């Protein structure tokens, strides 16, 4: 029973939990119900990955309606890996949420907060599971609308304007995607991705198909904050509650990158992209994004904003792999998707722990805190090393594959950009470490204690994962390679 | 001429779409931005409904005498999108109310000035 409906349960469980959590009294019960749901979903997502890890595909027909008429959930190694990232990050974020939310969000909003969190999780998991392109739009809007609400719960009033700005840009992005889907439907008469991939090759010369492609690409480039469409991201990450920053930074953009992968490689096929200037454009925007956004990160005075700009630069690395379109490039994209979720999750959690103690994320307010909060400080060091890409951490693995992909295509400029990007990361990570350890506060405050265990343990789970996946790459690289073979091979 | 009159609904879609999009970008008033966003979305609804129309097709309700029907699927799809649009508008307006409470204004420039004078 569970086995056959596994793919559906992953989406439906958080969806059912959302209204249930909303009617529960404020306080720990709402948190407990959402945590348990998330753990179950995580286990199911794990089982799902095990089921498809050898390269087979699970097709689940919703309500028993056969595709292409009914909605189909089509799971292969790529979906399963992304679903595992989303569910896994949610499962470590929720234990962290308890104390952080009690501190940052007023009590009457607690159960609604967890309810919106569950809806956001439903949306993100739905996007990864579905094989129907219109269904992607629906889940995208479920996750986006709940995200806007969650961001607006931030303590400062700028959170409201950040949420508003994201709402406007996100809706434009989603509507562009909708236009693209409409045009595809007009030409092919189908919405099933697998069906589309069979009907599109005959129509590639058609102007409508090319327009549809352009609309979908721009729409999702907005959602995944590809430079220069990233303007909503720094404010949203800076002013959102700490928990939401952790969750969004580690999952939302990754899911959008996954949709990009799916649309480019499964629906249109890479040969379509090679006949358009899209792949060169991606490489150009990624190179510009990596360099410019890293410089922006260096100049920030707020630690959350610094990491937000770093995220935009890191999205550049993920999209580079798509621009290459090669086996190695796509492996690097999928591996970096996974690893970046781990490193940014760990870093934002550690920053969130500091915010929990001092109530500010400004770098100057953190002077000398490293000595008072040694465990949090150590988490920032290891997370930072992973962000730079030091051997022995997860970040190294993804950079390694990316550099290999660039060398394979003899694109020395991009090899240089990846290395310069890493050097720039050294500077901005150092900026945090310098402030935390080597600077002393103008007015030293001595009563700041180490963050509570409820915050430290999830942070360190991610930190240890960063080291573990830097040494054992079987899950990440192994699954990514299986997924890439399916993405590049002929879809059955 | 055929290109313009024969596809007048699509031209209308493009005009409305651009009008809405331009409003979102050019207006500084947060309410007007939401209104522009709505107009922008409505143009997409029109696009979908145009796609569903089959030449000489009847409304998709089964009748023994009718043989050619319009395609009902785009209508169903766009019902979903309309619901999403309503939710987005509601959330956007709720945010504007909160912004008005926090800043005392809904003009983008004034909000910007207030945040930078702090």
pLDDT of residue A491: 43
Q: What is the pTM of this model?
A: 0.92
Residues on chain B bordering chain A, Cβ-to-Cβ distance under 8 angstroms: 21, 24, 30, 33, 37, 40-41, 44, 47-48, 51, 73-74, 77, 80-81, 84, 87-88, 91-92, 95-96, 98-99, 102-103, 111, 115
3-state secondary structure of B16: helix
pLDDT of residue B94: 94
Could you give phi then psi for residue A106, rounded to 5 degrees?
-70, 145
Fill in the DSSP letter of residue A276.
Answer: S
| DSSP labels, A142-187 | HHHHHHHHHHTTSSSTHHHHHHHHHHHHHHHHHHHHHHHHHHHHHH
CA B85 to chain centre: 7
CB contact under 8 Å between A182 and B33, yes or no, is: no
Does pLDDT of B15 surpass 60? yes
| DSSP labels, chain B | -HHHHTTHHHHHHHHHHHHHHHHHHH--BHHHHHHHHHHHHHHHHHHHHHHH--TTPBPSS--TT---B---HHHHHHHHHHHHHHHHHHHHHHHHHHHHHHHS--BHHHHHHHHHH-
Mention every residue, 6+ apart, whose C-beta is less than 8 A from residue A188. A195, A196, A199, A200, A203
pLDDT of residue A1: 65
**Alpha-carbon gap: A40 to the closest alpha carbon of chain B (Å):** 29
| Contact residues, chain B, for A169 at CB < 8 Å | none
Structural domains of chain B sorted by starting position, each given as residue range(s) with its CATH number in brackets: 2-116 (1.10.287.3510)
Count contacts between A and B (CB, < 8 Å). Answer: 69
3-state secondary structure of B29: strand
pLDDT of residue A444: 65
B117: confidence class by pLDDT, cuts 50, 70, 90: low
| Contact residues, chain A, for B92 at CB < 8 Å | 164, 167-168, 171
CB contact under 8 Å between A175 and B47, yes or no, is: no
Nearest by CB to residue B95, choosing from A152, A171, A175, is: A152
The residue assigned the tokens 């290999």 is A404
| Contact residues, chain B, for A163 at CB < 8 Å | 95
What is the C-alpha to C-alpha distance for residues A444 and A75, in angstroms, rounded to an integer?
Answer: 54
| Contact residues, chain B, for A305 at CB < 8 Å | none
CB contact under 8 Å between B21 and A172, yes or no, is: yes
- Name the stretches of chain A with pLDDT < 50: 491-492
Which residue did the predictor score with more confidence, B17 or A439?
B17
> Please, is B98 exposed, middle or buried when counting C-beta atoms within 10 Å of its C-beta (0-12, 13-18, 19+)?
middle
pLDDT of residue A445: 66
Mind listing the pLDDT tens digit for each residue in B53-107? 887 888 888 888 888 888 888 888 899 999 999 999 999 999 999 999 988 888 8
Nearest by CB to residue B41, choosing from A161, A175, A182, is: A175
Mind listing the pLDDT tens digit for each residue in A61-93? 888 888 778 888 888 888 899 999 999 999 999
Cβ A248 vs Cβ A234: under 8 Å = no
The residue assigned the tokens 């590049």 is A488
């Amino acid at each position: 029973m569970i086995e056959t409906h596994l793919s559906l349960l992953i989406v439906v469980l958080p969806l059912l939990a959302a209204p249930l959590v909303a009617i529960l009294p404020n306080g720990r019960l709402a948190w407990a119900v959402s945590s348990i749901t998330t753990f179950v979903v995580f286990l199911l997502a794990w089982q799902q990955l095990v089921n498809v890890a050898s390269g087979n595909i699970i097709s689940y027909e919703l309500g028993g309606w056969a595709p292409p008429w009914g909605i189909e959930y089509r799971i292969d190694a790529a979906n399963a890996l992304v679903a595992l990232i989303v569910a896994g990050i949610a499962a470590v974020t929720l234990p962290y949420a308890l104390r952080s939310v009690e501190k940052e969000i007023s009590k009457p909003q607690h159960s609604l907060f967890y309810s919106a969190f569950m809806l956001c999780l439903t949306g993100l998991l739905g996007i990864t599971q579905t094989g129907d392109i219109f269904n992607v739009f629906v889940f995208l809007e479920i996750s986006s609308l709940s995200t806007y609400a969650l961001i607006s719960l931030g303590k400062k009033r700028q959170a409201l304007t950040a949420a508003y700005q994201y709402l406007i840009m996100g809706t434009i992005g989603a509507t562009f995607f909708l236009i693209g889907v409409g045009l595809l439907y007009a030409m092919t008469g189908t919405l099933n991705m697998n069906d589309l991939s069979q009907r599109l090759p005959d129509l590639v010369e058609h102007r409508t198909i090319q327009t549809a492609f352009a609309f979908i690409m721009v729409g999702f480039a907005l959602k995944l904050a590809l430079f220069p469409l990233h303007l909503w991201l720094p404010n949203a990450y800076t002013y959102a509650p700490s928990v939401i920053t952790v969750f969004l930074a580690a999952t939302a953009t990754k899911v959008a990158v996954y949709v990009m992968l799916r649309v480019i490689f499964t629906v249109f096929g890479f040969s379509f992209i090679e006949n358009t200037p899209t792949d060169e454009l991606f490489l150009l925007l990624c190179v510009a994004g990596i360099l410019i956004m890293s410089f922006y990160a260096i100049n920030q005075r707020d630690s959350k904003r610094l990491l937000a700009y770093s995220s935009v630069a890191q999205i550049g690395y993920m999209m580079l792999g798509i621009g290459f379109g090669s086996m190695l490039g796509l492996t690097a994209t999928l591996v970096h998707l996974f690893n970046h979720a781990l490193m940014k999750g760990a870093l934002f959690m550690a920053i969130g722990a500091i915010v929990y103690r001092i109530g500010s994320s400004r770098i100057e307010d953190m002077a000398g805190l490293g000595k008072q909060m040694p465990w949090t400080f150590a988490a920032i060091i290891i997370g930072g090393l992973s962000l730079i890409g030091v051997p022995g951490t997860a970040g190294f693995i993804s950079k390694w594959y990316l550099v290999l992909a660039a060398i394979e295509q003899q694109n020395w400029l991009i090899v240089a950009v990846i290395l310069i990007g890493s050097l720039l990361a050294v500077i901005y990570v150092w900026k945090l470490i310098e402030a935390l350890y080597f600077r002393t506060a103008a007015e030293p405050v001595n009563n700041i204690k180490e963050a509570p265990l409820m915050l430290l343990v999830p942070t360190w789970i991610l930190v240890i994962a960063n080291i573990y996946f830097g040494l054992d790459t079987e899950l990440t690289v192994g699954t990514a390679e299986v997924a890439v073979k399916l993405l590049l091979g002929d879809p059955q | 001429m055929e290109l313009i009159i024969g596809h007048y609904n699509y031209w209308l879609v493009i005009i409305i779409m651009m009008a809405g999009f331009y409003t979102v970008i050019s207006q500084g008033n947060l309410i007007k931005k939401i209104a522009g966003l709505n107009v922008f979305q409505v143009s997409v609804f029109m696009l979908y409904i145009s796609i569903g129309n089959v030449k000489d097709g009847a409304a998709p309700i089964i009748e023994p005498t009718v043989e050619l029907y319009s395609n009902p699927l785009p209508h169903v799809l766009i019902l979903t999108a309309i619901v999403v649009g309503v939710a987005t508008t509601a959330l956007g307006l709720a945010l504007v109310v909160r912004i008005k409470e926090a800043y005392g204004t809904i003009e983008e420039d004034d909000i910007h000035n207030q945040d930078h004078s702090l």
